[in-house]
Amino acid sequence: MPILSDSADADAGPGRDWGPVITGRHRRVPRRILAVLLIIVVLPVAMVIAAGMWGLSQVTRVDVAGLGGDGPRHFLVVGSDSRENLTPEEQRELNTGSEPGHRTDTIFVLTVGGGRAAMLALPRDLLVTRCDGTTGRINAAEAIDGPGCLVDTVERTTGIGIDNYVAIDFGGFRDLVDAVGGVELCLPGPIKDKDAGIDLPAGCQVLAGPDALGFVRVRKIDNDLKRIERQQEFMRALAGRIATPATIVNPFRLFAVAGAGGRAITTDSGFGLLDAIALGRGIRALQTGNVATDTVPTEFANVNGAAVLRPTSAAATMYAAHADGSVLDRATTTLSPADITVSVHNGTTVAGLATAVADQLRDVGITVGTVDNSDPIDRTTLRFPPQLRPAAELLADLAPIPLELVEDGDATGLDLFLGPDADTA
């Protein structure tokens, strides 16, 4: 939109110089503008740095042997199922039970380099040779001889040199989720598990700390591999909440999130500011979708009466790609509208709605596949498989209508289902 109206331009007359008029009074205007701009730009950056330093001061540190690798930065990130820091009331609230001892509930390697990231999830039932030479599930390694044993086990299993250790427990996870105001997820179907303490309906909803913990822990409804998919989905959504403007520009929430994040984690004793910055870049990559996600390929096996997951021959290639950082090449997202193909389905009684929306998508450069009718749907929804999340998010930005993103492991492409809210005519 032009700044000047046609009439204002006509009144200017020929040869009018639209540069600044330098008078005694006006000399101060640019300085004031500059001061305001400096406040706008510098103050938020300063707040983020201060919040980061505050959060870093809250971190618990422990000695971890065997750290230090070559190549890109590798973080070993684990979720602990230890109940030792929870009161009996918190154990009941979070449905953790009171089982003594220590097992690693979630294990993944986060590789960070050049603004890109990759996640390699190791199933808790993965069959490995542990630090003491015993063979068994990887989730028992830390109970044998602390975090250093788990680091050694991961390194000897994968060949990935671990630089830093980061752990989060049940209570810390809950507090971090609550500090960001909860995390929104869109569930394709209901999830109910008494042991995990959740009873979630299908559809989009904001999960507070206890329900979020149940969501990432639930495994009895399917298996450990599906559980990992849910954890990866939640990590992306949580990263998005941490990086949202509602957090960054609100100093109260920003410091609350930084403090909760710091208190939530335990790191190796050498974890410092540069390590925190690198970890922050990894979180940012998760938020933007500039990340490659893998799970160790496995097959079900029974060893000495125990059900385990044995790595397949394809695991070696996957380990090597994460070890040398070549996996990060898959994390480069340089999508354009022309790279996106979507099918449009009319879930309303409005005749021609899918055709009209399809035409609007073509106008912004998106390729449209099938255009047809579907079963009725209450709200406009875009379903997509996990690997197409960057394309789904770009489509959501370009779409002429608001839509909900629903990650669906059974989907094979982008499918836009139109609800009544898509009818803007």
Q: What is the pLDDT of residues 279-318, one digit of tens each?
A: 888 887 887 777 888 999 999 999 888 899 999 999 999 9
Domain limits, the chain: 56-331, 337-422
pLDDT of 82: 61
Task: Please list the residues that pair with 407 across neighbouring strands.
Answer: 384
When pLDDT is averaged across residues 8-30 and rounded to a whole number, the result is 42
CATH of 337-422, one of 3.30.70.2390, 2.40.110.10, 3.30.1490.190, 2.40.30.10: 3.30.70.2390
Between these two residues, 396 and 409, which has the higher pLDDT value? Answer: 396
In tens, the pLDDT along 47-74 reads 566 766 777 778 889 999 999 877 789 9
Q: Domain 56-331 is in which class? A: alpha beta
What pLDDT is attached to residue 372?
93
Residue 133 pLDDT > 90: yes
What average pLDDT does range 267-276 have in this prediction? Answer: 90
> Which residues fall within 8 angstroms of residue 247, CB to CB, at 6 or more apart?
180, 241, 253, 254, 257
Collect all residues with Cβ–Cβ distance below 8 Å to 160 and sequence separation of at least 6.
69, 74, 109, 111, 120, 154, 319, 322, 323
Position 6 scores a pLDDT of 36
> Mean pLDDT: which of 38-42, 93-97, 287-291 is highest?
287-291
| pLDDT grade for 334, boundaries at 50, 70 and 90 | low
**249 pLDDT band (50/70/90 cuts)?**
low
Q: How confident is the model at residue 86 (pLDDT cuts 50, 70, 90)?
A: low
What pLDDT does 151 receive? Answer: 96
Confidence of residue 32 (pLDDT cuts 50, 70, 90): low
Q: Give the tens place of pLDDT for each residue, 185-194.
A: 888 788 888 8
Reported as a single tens digit per residue, the pLDDT across 313-333 is: 999 999 999 999 999 988 765
Residue 51 has a pLDDT of: 67
Q: Which residue has the tokens 């490659």?
A: 292
Confidence of residue 38 (pLDDT cuts 50, 70, 90): very low
Q: Which of the two residues, 241 and 112, has the higher pLDDT score?
A: 112
Q: What is the mean predicted confidence (pLDDT) over 221-229?
A: 79
Between residues 23 and 139, the one the model is more confident about: 139
Instruction: Give the pTM.
Output: 0.67
Q: If pLDDT is split at 50, 70 and 90, which confidence band does 120 have?
A: very high
Are 286 and 236 contacting, i.e. CB atoms less than 8 angstroms apart? Answer: yes
